[in-house]
Amino acid sequence: MQIHDASQHPVLAFFTWIGSTLIMTATFWLLFGACVDMEPPPFEPPARVVASWDPLQCGEDDHRVVVELEDDDGGEVSGSVPCRLGGLTLDVRHWGVYRGRIYAWSLGPEIRSVTSVRLDIDSPILWWTVDTPR
């Protein structure tokens, strides 16, 4: 049995090591480069609408205040809280024009104090003070 000395061809071993590394790197980027080459979607920061009213003006009945908003694309966002809390926060998907309504609601089919609204959301947080829905 004959043992070969690995130091006989050090130059060939070095170029084989470098060549195989280069081939594997090129293969990786050719196969997976398309995943990195995608253009990121345009950044549109989400916004938050903070509606507030005077909770002392709510009266004795325990009603809720409902805020319903809809953007130009038909995306809806809504929320409701007891009137005595005095405020409601809604997270909207993008900046722009939202239309909707704010009203008072208690258990049953009737809604009261309906007010149509139009909001131009052009900042990350929109502070919105409304008359207390009764």
CATH code of the domain covering residue 80? 2.60.40.10
pTM of model > 0.75: no
Question: Kind and range of the H or E element at 123?
Answer: none
Per-residue pLDDT of 26-73, as tens digits, reads 888 877 766 666 676 666 668 999 999 999 998 888 899 999 999 998
Number of domains in the chain: 2
Q: Is 98 in the same domain as 123?
A: yes
Answer for the pair 115, 85: CB distance below 8 angstroms, yes or no.
Answer: no
Closest CA to 94 of 49, 55, 129: 49
Domain that holds residue 31: 6-36
